[in-house]
Amino acid sequence: MRVRLVILVLLISLIAQPALALDFNSVEVSYCNGSIRVEVFYTLDAISAIKVFLFGAGCIEDDVRELFVTDDYVVEKIDFNHAEFFFPVEKSDECLRFDGVKLSKPLNVTLKIGSEVDLGTTDEIPQLYFCID
């Protein structure tokens, strides 16, 4: 009985925790099936990791979504240590244009379209214009 009470108190304290602590690490940008795929990598503090393990990644979704200063994207998945988003591109002849997106905080951004280019720490994913063979 006492063990159940302790577990119940621990679960209630986890649920009652304020905002989760996400430490964003980097962003990788690539082209995938007609969209720009943006992968965001992050680490969670211990309490947040336990909460995600017990209740799923939905409890960090709002915090991860706040990274982008736009709503024009689709959430593919939000996981324990990374999330994937798809942004629209405009097609013009055989080439594609991505309008770019501002980030709410500076992160290390790597472009993986054609060749790999490390943009360093920046607060935006730049506009892109590229052609596909």
Position 19 pLDDT exceeds 50: no
* 111 found inside a domain: yes
Give Cα 98 to chain centroid, integer Å.
18
Of these ranges, 31-35, 36-40, 53-57, the one predicted with the greatest mean pLDDT is 36-40
Count the domains in the chain.
Answer: 1
Domain assignment present for 2: no
Q: Is there a domain that residue 34 lies in? A: yes
Are 92 and 130 contacting, i.e. CB atoms less than 8 angstroms apart?
Answer: no
Residue 46 CA to residue 55 CA, distance in Å, equals 14
pLDDT surpassing 60 at residue 34: yes
- Distance of alpha carbon 84 from alpha carbon 79, whole angstroms: 9
Sign, CA torsion 99/121/112/66: negative
Q: Among 73-77, 91-95, 115-119, whose mean pLDDT is lowest?
A: 91-95
Does residue 6 surpass a pLDDT of 70? no
Query: Residues 6 or more apart from 110 whose CB is under 8 A from it?
Result: 26, 27, 28, 29, 116, 117, 118, 119
Q: Strand pairing of 101-113 and 22-32?
A: parallel
Asked if residue 6 belongs to a domain, the reply is no
For residue 58, what are the contacts with CB-CB under 8 A and spacing of at least 6? 78
The answer to whether residue 41 sits within a structural domain is yes
Name the residue range of residue 26's domain.
20-131
Q: Is the full-model pTM beyond 0.95?
A: no
Whether residue 8 is contained in a domain is answered as: no
